[in-house]
Amino acid sequence: MASGPALSIDISAKRFAGASQPLLADLELAIASSSVVALVGPSGVGKSTLLRVIAGIDTAFSGDVLIAGVAAHQASTPGFVFQDPRLLPWLTAAHNIMAVDPAISAEVAQAALARVGLADAGALYPHQLSGGMQRRVALARAFSVNARLLLLDEPFVSLDRTLVDEIQQLFLQLVAQTRPTVIFVSHLIDDAARLADRAVLFDGRPAQIVADIALPIPPAQRDDATLTDYRAQLDAAGRQPYSV
């Protein structure tokens, strides 16, 4: 049984070719197993880049990123949800889920769709699904691989408020059912206040951690007063106002 944090980040520098200074420098973060961590920061600070480094997709940095003690690019593939659903247009919803891992059977894909309220949509192609349904398929796909680490890059952007609420409730249900370690990126403190156990705020170039805030009340038990308090804490800790 692995001990220590689920994820340990120690990046001394991440610099893109031609950039005058690193995007990330001296960044250290340890993330506990089964926690839900929001990485919050303004546009362009480097959140997506950090997520790609954690995913092992981007290996051009100096330092160490260890997933359960194993270098990120050698660790088992994490589940990933991108800003847009990225469904393959030539595959049905069920086959989009099965395509990420040969171990996922038709039955498992069907069960994953049922968990996000799409039991009848398995045979439909992406163009036959609404934007909200496509997001739900993308969530079902990420959770169906049973990855112990899930990375989500702005999974709630470009959705209207009703759909955000719906998809966030689904997200919380899936997390409660499967208890993975989750890191999600957002530029909105509201997402962190609603969904995360811990919010890490980034700002500056190179990006620095400007605040690391525990949000101990479980998301399902947060009432309006708690959300107002959490938003205020996060707003006060950020260097600049974040939109809510």
Give the binding site for ligand ATP (CB under 6 A): 16, 23, 41, 43-49, 187
Asked, as a colleague might, if the bond just before 206 is cis with ω within 30 of 0, I would say: yes
Q: Are strands 70-71 and 79-81 parallel, antiparallel or unpaired?
A: unpaired
Nearer to ligand ATP, 153 or 197 (CB): 153
Task: Tell me the residue length of the chain.
Answer: 244
DSSP state of 78: P
Nearer to ligand ATP, 68 or 200 (CB): 200
Nearer to ligand ATP, 32 or 157 (CB): 157
Nearer to ligand ATP, 46 or 85 (CB): 46
Rounded to a whole number of angstroms, the minimum distance from the CB of residue 58 to ligand ATP is: 8
Rounded to a whole number of angstroms, the minimum distance from the CB of residue 196 to ligand ATP is: 17
Give dist(CA 173, CA 233) in Å, integer.
25
Rounded to a whole number of angstroms, the minimum distance from the CB of residue 54 to ligand ATP is: 12
Give dist(CA 59, CA 72) in Å, integer.
9
CB count within 10 Å of CB 13 equals 15
Rounded to a whole number of angstroms, the minimum distance from the CB of residue 55 to ligand ATP is: 12
Nearer to ligand ATP, 95 or 187 (CB): 187
Tell me the β-bridge partners of 208: 203
Are 158 and 134 spatial neighbours (Cβ–Cβ below 8 Å)?
no
Rounded to a whole number of angstroms, the minimum distance from the CB of residue 2 to ligand ATP is: 29
Rounded to a whole number of angstroms, the minimum distance from the CB of residue 161 to ligand ATP is: 20
Nearer to ligand ATP, 130 or 243 (CB): 243
Give dist(CA 139, CA 141) in Å, integer.
5
Give dist(CA 124, CA 106) in Å, integer.
14
Q: Whose structure tokens read 């961590």?
A: 37
